[in-house]
Structure 1
Amino acid sequence: MDLHRRRIAAAEFLDRKGISGTLERIVNELFFRQPADVYGYMADCLLKLSTPPKISDLRGRAVFLGNGQLIVEAEVFCIDCNKEKRMSSAAVLSTFAPVGAEESQRSSDYVEIALQWIHEPFRRLLLDQNPCDQSEIDQMLGDFFTSYREEEKARRDKLKAEAKEHEAVTLVPVTPAKEKKSKGKKTIVDEKLFPPPELPEPVLLEGMAVGSVSLAVAKCGAEIKGMPLYKYISALKNQKEPAHFHVPVPWITLLSCGKKSPGKLCLLEEIILISKVGHPVKQSVTLAFELQKEMIKLMSTSGKGGITLSSVSDHGVLRASCDRLEQPLDLITDACRNLKVPLGVDVFLALNCAAPKLMDYSKGKYEVATGGLKSPDELIEVYLNLTSKYPAVVAIIDPFRREEAEQWEKLSSRIGISCSLLSDITHKPQDPVLPGVNGYVFRHANETTVSDIIHATVSYQGAVVMDTMFSESCSSGSFADLAVGLGLDYVKLGGLSGVETMAKYNRLTAIEEELAQQGLLVCKEPEPPLFSKEPKEELASAEETK
């Protein structure tokens, strides 16, 4: 009798779940198709009918970068076919680098906070969420971080107010000393100090947990959909998978003559090689290697123009000792001539000036070289002379501070369409668009979610160069996928050394070859300049249309 009841219950269960009908349909299709792997075909059919995976757990762990910096790696687990599986992991870099024991201790503290976020509130927020709902998950992560940032701001403001009150109570009045009149000398008038920039909001380094979890969720979604990450990112951005893809042109850093390099020259933090659009990534990287070898040969054999090689960074960037702006550019010109590489035809140059770091606020001038100060207007003439003498220079990154809006506009109008001006907006993505700016440099770091990156590239209408950090994240392969999936024309990858750095170049090359084999690769041919001179839509206006 018990057996009879169990049979009835089993039949009711099969009918209620529609299993009998489903199995009958699969068997009929099986007979019609007659695949070589019968059970594999049936497994695929049943797998498509299974419950979509849901997030079951988030885990975080501290991992080391090549430079010894600690960051957080997030892991996503899902229930898939009644089993918990580790689906993906990702680590996004914070925007600082330890410089000593005290800073290392601080980085350890931030990592601990980030791990607490992943193991407690983030795990609770994302439990049972569909990992393919990227925008919804990013919204939850963003809301949490916004709330935390507001609490931190309130705490900081309270501490500042208490400090001011304490200072007011303990302040002892001091009788000013009488001024002595100097005979026969003019009275020295206090100079009007150059206005410093507005202090940015403090970077909350624990926000690396937000970026890491967001990227790990995106990789999990791509795994579930059975597609490469770059196709998944493209589908998220365009609401569908495009019929064709193009691979962004890599910007490869050849030489550094910035403030931290030996020698007097401070202005050229990076000199970047840009291959002509249409050159395969592998060909561009090979050419960059050959150019670096020739540059090292020139510096070691003849000490070309007084320039000497100081060192090679862990990321393959040559650090040179230069005293004049022309020296590194002449070196690259000679190396191209020796290799019969037409500079300004097949390859071009971009200059990352990082001018905001060079401002001497007491004098209101930029320290172009040690002891060599230039006012913002004088710096315009420096850039005009450089681009006139070296027409292969087609882009200048951060030629001024953001506060010099007038100089940005003047330089852009005088330099014409031959050279694009780019502004680094990593920490200020919502600031007003500067006049004269044609493109933007943006890094994936800290609390930046995948949805944030997509929104930034859409808002700035394709005028974004995605930049890597000098200390690379563990998810270095994902960086290339993001650049391709976002449809960027250019991607700044750094030097040519280090496992983490080269993983980006290798992944970009692999994507290009994969797309070519699939017949999905197209060559996008942007006309010069690199970016349109038309003003870009502000991010604020894009927010209104969301």
Structure 2
Amino acid sequence: MEEARRRRREAAEYYRGQRVPERMEEALNALFPLRPGDLYGELANYLSKYSKAPIICKLVGRKVLDGVGQPTLEVEIYCTVKNYEQRICSTVMSCHSRIPENALPETIEADEKERNDSVNAAVEWVNESLNTMLRDLEPTDQCQVDKMLGEYFANKVEEKKEIQKQVEKEEEEEEEAEAILAVTSPPPSPASPPGKKKAAKAGKKLSVEERPIPPAEPAAPVLCGSLAIGGTSLAIAKAGATISHIPLYSHIALLKHDQSQLQEPPEEITLPLPMVTLLNCEKTSPSKLKLVKEVMLIPPVQLSLRQGIERILHIQKEMTRLLESPGKMPDPQPAESKKGKAQNPGKKGLPQFLKRISHLGCLTTGYDDVEQLLLVMQTACSNIGLQLGTDVYLAINCAAHELMDYDKGKYEILTGTFKSPDEMVAMYEELIDKFPFIIALIDPLRKEDREQWSNICCALGSKCYLIAEDAATCISKLKIDQNINTPMCSGVVLKYINQTKVSDLIELTGILNGQRRITMLGSPDGESSDDSLVDLAVGLGARFIKLGGLSRGERVTKYNRLLAIEEELAKNGNLRETKLEFVAFAEESQPENQPSDELPPPEQN
């Protein structure tokens, strides 16, 4: 005992003569009064600040199923934290199907095979190349990771091009060989002089007064395995947020504002308004076409998201009741116009209720025309004491690219009813004037009809949002020299699919904000249970988020995440009020520095 005391006295005298840093001295003074159990925890927390930053040690990719039973990719991130390997997080990618309605079985089978091959290739990329390439990087360095992922993807694209060139070269050699063999045999004599009938047809086409429509742009090719790029980038972002002990939306906001991870997140955050899909309008028969693909409800900004979603649930319940029991409901009264009086909703009856929930998580129905559907919705809201345009707003996904008849050069909005692109603009003007509670039109025209997009923006831009979804093409082709390669529009729907990276979304939203266009994040058709899309929308400051309906687990999970973020921000006092403002595109409209038109506040019930 005496020896131990002597050594402590000598050590104390020694350290009294040394220059101990002030921070260390303060830390030691704070530790002395603690009990041994607390002391160890405080020492661990204090010393952990000086430990090596966590680094990526392993990536794991595997094939899983999405919300509709299709294969997709899951990426897991493992990091070395304080010399121990830990699983940090995982993400599941969503797939976007480009197969149209009523596709042939052969087309569906080919798409399923292509998707399966793409997922298998993505799993291989993650477990082999990307696992080696990203090892020992810090998960908080999103820019460096995305840069390396972009370079890797570019190399894969070049490899694909080289393979295609080689295949084309071999095909040309085979054609040349066949041509040499064909020279030895005389060509068959034609039955009739060629060219006469074709010339007559050409002359007939030239006599048509209407301007020819621009042809459809070819679909952007999707490289097999590209899911690995988007999945890895998003998984790294989630790992960076976990390592930094902040929510993913705060991490994305920091990346967007070019702030270091040591700084506090932005003081206030605006939540995106949900576009909740109420009805998925399908064909009632193989020959029946329709103008509307989705009918969505938007809650007013003055309500909290929780209140808004509860209001939409009430409308959905009443709409279901009306569609299931049409005999108990009075005929919807048409608006007072010649067109409305000419229609007889009593004869047409209610829209056909198909009694099933679509893959979008909403009710499925068919109808005779757009006005019939809107009048029924007005009745449903009126029955529960709500008014469209005051207590709730409507958005319509027109999906006009699915209605074009390229032989006639017109949109076939109903069977036998054709309209030119210019006539479509006039039709939308009449629709918005008659039903002003519609505040958003998604894909009212094809992306190739750029002149008509400009016309409809000048005519309706101050009354509703004109948003490009399919018309915005893929994210990889949106940005061209700091410009957005889309027709004139109020905003763009961005989807996190394929080779999309987090840095791409951050850059695109910055460009859109600079051009006074709104950003809207959309949920793909083949959704997964991963709710990262909501954090991306909140962190990027998106104006709207399109998640589908209020059914199906993969959809509801995202709405629940949005409500949890609202509660967290409100508790911390970081929730900023949302505003809906339209942009007047016409030259005679207000200048850019003048506030745009705002929606009227709803009546509080």
Same fold (TM > 0.5)? yes
Tell whether 2:317 aligns with 1:309.
no
Which of 471, 486, 489 is 2:526 aligned to? 471
Stretch deviating more after TM superposition (377-386 or 255-264): 255-264
**Cα distance in 2 for residues equivalent to 1:36 and 1:391:** 67
The alpha-carbon distance between structure 1 residues 330 and 168, as it changes in their structure 2 partners (threshold 3 A), is farther
Where does residue 395 of structure 2 map in the other structure? 350
Structure number with greater Rg is 2
Q: CA deviation at 1:530?
A: 10
**Cα distance in 1 for residues equivalent to 2:36 and 2:247:** 26
Where does residue 6 of structure 2 map in the other structure? none
Preserved CA contact (<8 Å) 2:299 2:312: no
Where does residue 278 of structure 1 map in the other structure? 302
* 1:471 alignment partner AA: G
Where does residue 67 of structure 1 map in the other structure? 68
**Cα distance in 2 for residues equivalent to 1:41 and 1:322:** 67
Which of 574, 578, 593 is 1:524 aligned to? 578
Where does residue 503 of structure 1 map in the other structure? 557
Tell whether 2:478 aligns with 1:429.
yes
Correspondence 1:96-495 to 2 at 5 A: 96=97, 100-160=108-168, 162-163=170-171, 166-167=174-175, 170=178, 175-178=189-192, 189-191=203-205, 194-240=213-259, 241-258=265-282, 264-302=288-326, 305=345, 306=349, 307-310=351-354, 311-424=356-469, 425-427=472-474, 428-430=477-479, 432-461=484-513, 463-475=518-530, 477-495=531-549
Stretch deviating more after TM superposition (367-376 or 48-57): 367-376
Q: CA deviation at 1:143?
A: 0.9
Preserved CA contact (<8 Å) 2:461 2:583: no
Where does residue 96 of structure 2 map in the other structure? 95
* 2:249 alignment partner AA: Y
Q: CA deviation at 1:188?
A: 8.4
Q: CA deviation at 1:25?
A: 5.3
Stretch deviating more after TM superposition (278-287 or 522-531): 522-531
Where does residue 8 of structure 1 map in the other structure? none
* 1:387 alignment partner AA: I
Where does residue 3 of structure 1 map in the other structure? none
**Cα distance in 2 for residues equivalent to 1:36 and 1:329:** 67
| 2:270 match: secondary structure | coil
* 1:401 alignment partner AA: R
The alpha-carbon distance between structure 1 residues 408 and 217, as it changes in their structure 2 partners (threshold 3 A), is same
Give percent identity, aligned residues only: 38
Preserved CA contact (<8 Å) 2:228 2:499: yes
Q: CA deviation at 1:486?
A: 0.8
Stretch deviating more after TM superposition (279-288 or 445-454): 279-288
Q: CA deviation at 1:30?
A: 2.2
Preserved CA contact (<8 Å) 1:71 1:111: yes
Give ranges in structure 2 of 5+ residues lacking alignment. Answer: 1-10, 100-104, 207-211, 260-264, 332-344, 593-605
**Cα distance in 1 for residues equivalent to 2:276 and 2:585:** 18
| 2:225 match: secondary structure | helix
**Cα distance in 1 for residues equivalent to 2:194 and 2:92:** 63
The alpha-carbon distance between structure 1 residues 323 and 176, as it changes in their structure 2 partners (threshold 3 A), is farther
| 1:85 match: secondary structure | strand
* 2:250 alignment partner AA: K
Report Cα offsets for 1:286-309 as digits up to 9, x if no partner: 222211121122222226643111
Q: CA deviation at 1:157?
A: 4.5
**Cα distance in 1 for residues equivalent to 2:504 and 2:284:** 32
Q: CA deviation at 1:441?
A: 0.8
| 1:418 match: secondary structure | coil
Preserved CA contact (<8 Å) 2:68 2:527: no
**Cα distance in 1 for residues equivalent to 2:431 and 2:232:** 44
Where does residue 7 of structure 1 map in the other structure? none
Preserved CA contact (<8 Å) 1:255 1:319: yes
**Cα distance in 1 for residues equivalent to 2:486 and 2:81:** 49
Q: CA deviation at 1:345?
A: 1.8
Q: CA deviation at 1:141?
A: 0.4
Stretch deviating more after TM superposition (361-370 or 31-40): 31-40
| 2:137 match: secondary structure | coil
**Cα distance in 1 for residues equivalent to 2:64 and 2:498:** 15
**Cα distance in 1 for residues equivalent to 2:466 and 2:301:** 19
**Cα distance in 1 for residues equivalent to 2:227 and 2:93:** 6
Preserved CA contact (<8 Å) 1:94 1:205: no
Stretch deviating more after TM superposition (301-310 or 32-41): 32-41
* 1:484 alignment partner AA: V
* 1:76 alignment partner AA: I
**Cα distance in 1 for residues equivalent to 2:46 and 2:237:** 25
| 2:56 match: secondary structure | strand
Preserved CA contact (<8 Å) 2:96 2:525: no
Preserved CA contact (<8 Å) 1:396 1:419: yes
Q: CA deviation at 1:216?
A: 0.7
Give ranges in structure 1 of 5+ residues lacking alignment. Answer: 1-10, 537-546
| 1:460 match: secondary structure | helix
Q: CA deviation at 1:103?
A: 3.5
Q: CA deviation at 1:518?
A: 1.0
- Tell me the TM-score normalised to structure 2 length: 0.78
Preserved CA contact (<8 Å) 1:54 1:79: yes
* 1:384 alignment partner AA: E
Preserved CA contact (<8 Å) 1:90 1:474: no
Preserved CA contact (<8 Å) 1:420 1:530: no
**Cα distance in 1 for residues equivalent to 2:36 and 2:300:** 47
**Cα distance in 2 for residues equivalent to 1:87 and 1:416:** 45
| RMSD of equivalent CA atoms | 3.2
Q: CA deviation at 1:525?
A: 2.1
* 2:353 alignment partner AA: L
Q: CA deviation at 1:399?
A: 1.2
**Cα distance in 2 for residues equivalent to 1:471 and 1:280:** 29
**Cα distance in 2 for residues equivalent to 1:313 and 1:531:** 36
* 2:125 alignment partner AA: W
Stretch deviating more after TM superposition (161-170 or 416-425): 161-170
